Amino acid sequence: MILPPLSIRRLYTEAQIELQLLSIVSYGRCIFYGVNQNKTTTLMIRGLSCTDKDHIYDIINSAAGAYRGVIPSDCYHEPYMPGEELQREMSTMTFFGWEERNELVGVMGFQPVKDVTLIRHAYVLPDHQGKGIGTRLLERLKQMTRTRQLLVGTWADATWAIEFYEKRGFKRMPDKDELLKRYWNIQQRQIETSVVLGLEL
């Protein structure tokens, strides 16, 4: 295999598959090549575009089913994120995705706002959860962040999401209402039922 010249290479073992990580920083993406029983599997983080909208829509609305019966009923609807809303969100941020075998299975939004950067709409298809995809996306977006603070908002009742970020160094912000009003464009009801976690970089 010929490796690209603009890469940082290292070997590691995960789930008994030896993967070689090529972190192509100048193009803002990570490519993993895994070899298992003489077959090559390509795993990749890449920036997403309008051509990926349908896939992003499917991932968000499939994964958001976890909110059903957990968050306040007046905050949950199906689809959780309608196509029109997703289109608006895509116009204000950049989505990055995790691909396996040319299939998009996880997404995470990246949105610099004023003096902070926001992590938005982080979702992984249910069948692919628990495999470190969210962690890899988050680490890549952390590398891209140029502000001193990285913030993420989520539902107060989504305890699994809060735990995910806390395990990765994020802390609950005591001034969450002020932060949500300053950096997000959401309804008052969502402000009341959400939390903000932050990471100093």
For the segment 90-135, what is each residue's pLDDT rounded down to a tens digit?
Answer: 999 999 999 998 999 999 999 999 999 999 999 999 999 999 999 9
Kindly report the CA angle at 150 between 83 and 201, in degrees rounded to 5?
155
Of the listed ranges 14-23, 82-91, 155-164, the one predicted with least confidence: 14-23
pLDDT value at 146 more than 60: yes
- Residue 123: name the closest of 89, 91, 88, 169 by CA: 89
pLDDT per residue as tens digits for the range 38-57: 455 577 999 999 999 999 99
CA distance 107 to 120: 9
Strand partners, 95: 109
Q: Which of 46, 35, 17 is nearest to 104 (CA)?
A: 46
The whole-chain average pLDDT of the chain stands at 85
Is domain 48-200 given the CATH code 3.40.630.30 in the classification?
Answer: yes
In the prediction, which pLDDT does 42 show? Answer: 72
Query: Where, residue-wise, is CATH 3.40.630.30 in the chain?
Result: 48-200
C-alpha angle 139/140/141, rounded to 5°? 90
Q: Residue range 53-64: average pLDDT?
A: 98
Cα–Cα dist 165/161, whole Å: 7
Q: What pLDDT sits at residue 40? A: 52
**Rounded percentage of the chain residues whose pLDDT exceeds 70:** 80
Residue 12 pLDDT: 34
Q: Is the pLDDT of residue 35 over 90?
A: no
pLDDT of residue 4: 45
- Residue 155 pLDDT level (bands cut at 50, 70, 90): very high
